[in-house]
């Protein structure tokens, strides 16, 4: 095979390959798989937890079709304290478009400290209590804070362990609210 | 249980790099040429450390404004979600540069590095078979089979066809093809970050092939048949 034929074939192959990758499965864009797992690309597992303010049970499934920001935290955790002012600011800007679900890992915390924390940072979004650490275990929360972003299709598009850099918080909220 | 719990806290992108390098290191024990084995082992460790440092600290370069109003230790505890891309690209470039200054960029070293990497990558895909589900599992099994096939193909009787850049080009093609059925979690322009990484490898491999063709045209005696057993 001479060089010209070789490179023409390579060129055709590369163009075909890239065209296939760009155009294939457009319907799958942004859709979750049917499998529920607490990681990127999977559907967010459903859960039900009591709300701190009134004790009423809140389920993830009731927010079907809405973009979600889920944040696991504890009052004693320094990065949770560090990121809270940024989360409150982000809620003021995106709270009408994205549902903020704040989950306190109450199993490792105390209600008195939780209330002090919420007062200190003027947390305006609802807080759910994970008293038995059932949900944090199901979500494999190994470090606090852990945050997940879920798009309208119910797919987890980002998962962070540790405080989220503010530019990433804003850009990911903008991405899921579309 | 304590060790398992601690190990679980290692982010998957670092665990992946550690497993690949560990697999490569084990594979290198089979390398007969001691000089080649030592050279590739050194570069493998450099790759691992450079990857982890760049992936971990890329947030400092990506979001320098954060330094102004956040505790530096909190910032160091954060890793950007796409840090692995910067880590991989940076580590590969630094290892290639280190090979150049140590005059190690010859066929036997590059081939040994490629085979060892393929072995490490195959181990990583094998582990992921037990972790992934749904379309991710299909991709993982596909990549495992292709990686093992390429390794066996590369290890067979030395051939002038099985050159390192061609093996990596085929890996890039496989990555692109197996990515088609996956949900697009993060899209940067036309591709996802994994696809961009594969496109980068693909074009680097084609550039190396073009350079080889040009060299062959200029000096057929010197470059026609690179002997992998040199």
What rounded mean pLDDT belongs to chain A? 89
Burial of residue B68, with CB atoms counted within 10 A of its CB: 0-12 exposed, 13-18 middle, 19 or more buried = exposed
Q: Would the CB atoms of B136 and A22 count as touching at under 8 Å?
A: no
Per-residue burial over B193-219, b = 16 or more CB atoms within 10 Å of its CB, e = otherwise: ebbbbbbebbebbbebbeebeeeeeee
List chain B pLDDT tens, one digit each, 230 residues.
566 666 666 777 788 889 999 999 999 988 888 888 888 998 999 999 999 888 877 767 766 665 555 556 655 555 666 778 888 899 999 999 998 898 877 888 899 999 999 999 999 999 999 988 888 999 999 999 999 999 999 888 667 778 899 999 999 999 999 999 888 887 788 898 889 999 999 999 999 999 999 988 887 766 544 555 44
Q: Would the CB atoms of B181 and A25 count as touching at under 8 Å?
A: yes
Question: Contact B20/B117 with Cβ under 8 angstroms?
Answer: yes
Residues of chain B with C-beta less than 8 angstroms from the C-beta of A32:
183
What local confidence, expressed as pLDDT, does residue B230 receive? 46
Q: Is B105 helix (H, G, I), strand (E, B) or coil?
A: coil
Instruction: Of B50, B48, B26, give the one whose Cα is nearest residue B37.
Output: B26
Nearest CB partner across the interface for B182, out of A41, A158, A164: A41
Where do we find the tokens 């650490």?
A133
CA-to-CA dists, residue A151 to A49, A162, A177, angstroms: 21, 21, 7
Residues of chain B with C-beta less than 8 angstroms from the C-beta of A20:
177, 180
Burial of residue B73, with CB atoms counted within 10 A of its CB: 0-12 exposed, 13-18 middle, 19 or more buried = exposed
Distance from CA of B220 to the nearest CA of A (A): 14
A158 touches chain B (CB under 8 A): yes
Nearest CB partner across the interface for A28, out of B11, B183, B195: B183
Cis before A145? omega within 30: yes
Residues of chain A with C-beta less than 8 angstroms from the C-beta of B136:
33, 41
Residues of chain A with C-beta less than 8 angstroms from the C-beta of B82:
none
Domains and their CATH numbers in chain A: 29-177 (3.40.30.10)
Q: Would the CB atoms of B136 and A165 count as touching at under 8 Å?
A: no
Q: Would the CB atoms of A20 and B77 count as touching at under 8 Å?
A: no
Question: Does the structure show a pLDDT above 60 at A158?
Answer: yes
Distance from CA of A79 to the nearest CA of B (A): 6
Q: Would the CB atoms of A142 and B133 count as touching at under 8 Å?
A: no
Residues of chain A with C-beta less than 8 angstroms from the C-beta of B79:
162
Name which residue leads in pLDDT, B148 or A78: B148
Per-residue burial over A137-168, b = 16 or more CB atoms within 10 Å of its CB, e = otherwise: eebebeebbbbbbbbebbbbbbbbbbbbbbeb
Question: Contact B140/B129 with Cβ under 8 angstroms?
Answer: yes
What local confidence, expressed as pLDDT, does residue A14 receive? 96
Residues of chain B with C-beta less than 8 angstroms from the C-beta of A171:
none
Q: Would the CB atoms of A21 and B62 count as touching at under 8 Å?
A: no
Q: Would the CB atoms of A30 and B173 count as touching at under 8 Å?
A: no
């Amino acid at each position: 095979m001479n060089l010209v034929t070789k490179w023409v074939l390579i060129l055709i192959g590369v163009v075909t390959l890239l065209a296939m990758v760009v155009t294939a499965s457009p319907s799958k864009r942004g859709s979750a798989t049917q499998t529920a797992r607490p990681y990127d690309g999977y559907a967010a597992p459903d859960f039900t937890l009591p709300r701190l303010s009134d004790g009423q049970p809140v389920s993830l499934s009731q927010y079907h079709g809405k973009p979600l920001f889920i944040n696991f935290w504890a009052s004693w955790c320094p990065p949770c304290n560090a990121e809270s002012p940024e989360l409150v600011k982000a809620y003021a800007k995106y709270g009408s478009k994205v549902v903020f679900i704040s989950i306190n890992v109450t199993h490792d915390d105390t209600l008195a400290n939780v209330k002090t924390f919420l007062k200190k940072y003027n947390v305006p979004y609802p807080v759910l209590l994970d008293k038995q650490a059932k949900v944090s275990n199901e979500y494999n929360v190994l470090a606090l804070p852990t945050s997940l972003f879920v798009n309208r299709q119910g797919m987890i598009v980002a998962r962070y362990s540790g405080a989220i850099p503010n530019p990433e918080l804003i850009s990911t909220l903008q991405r899921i609210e579309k | 249980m304590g060790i398992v719990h601690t190990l679980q806290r290692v982010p998957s992108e670092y665990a992946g790099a550690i497993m690949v390098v560990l697999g490569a290191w084990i594979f290198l024990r089979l390398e007969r040429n001691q000089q080649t084995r030592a050279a590739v082992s050194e570069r493998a460790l450099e790759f691992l450390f450079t990857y982890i440092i760049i992936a971990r600290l890329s947030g400092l370069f990506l979001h320098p404004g954060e330094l102004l109003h956040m505790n530096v230790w909190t910032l160091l505890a954060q890793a950007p979600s796409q840090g692995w891309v910067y880590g991989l690209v940076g580590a590969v470039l630094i290892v290639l540069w280190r090979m150049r200054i140590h005059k190690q960029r010859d066929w036997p070293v590059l081939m040994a590095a490629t085979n060892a990497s393929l072995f490490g990558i195959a181990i990583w895909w094998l582990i992921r078979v037990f972790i992934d589900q749904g379309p991710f599992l299909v991709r993982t099994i596909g990549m495992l089979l292709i990686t093992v096939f390429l390794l066996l193909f590369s290890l067979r009787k030395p051939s002038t066809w099985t050159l390192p850049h061609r093996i990596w080009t085929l890996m890039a093609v496989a990555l692109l093809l197996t990515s088609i059925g996956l949900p697009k979690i993060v899209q940067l322009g036309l591709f996802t970050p994994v696809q961009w990484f594969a496109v980068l490898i693909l074009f680097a491999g084609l550039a190396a092939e073009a350079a080889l063709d040009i060299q062959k045209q200029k000096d057929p005696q010197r470059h026609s048949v690179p002997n992998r057993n040199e």
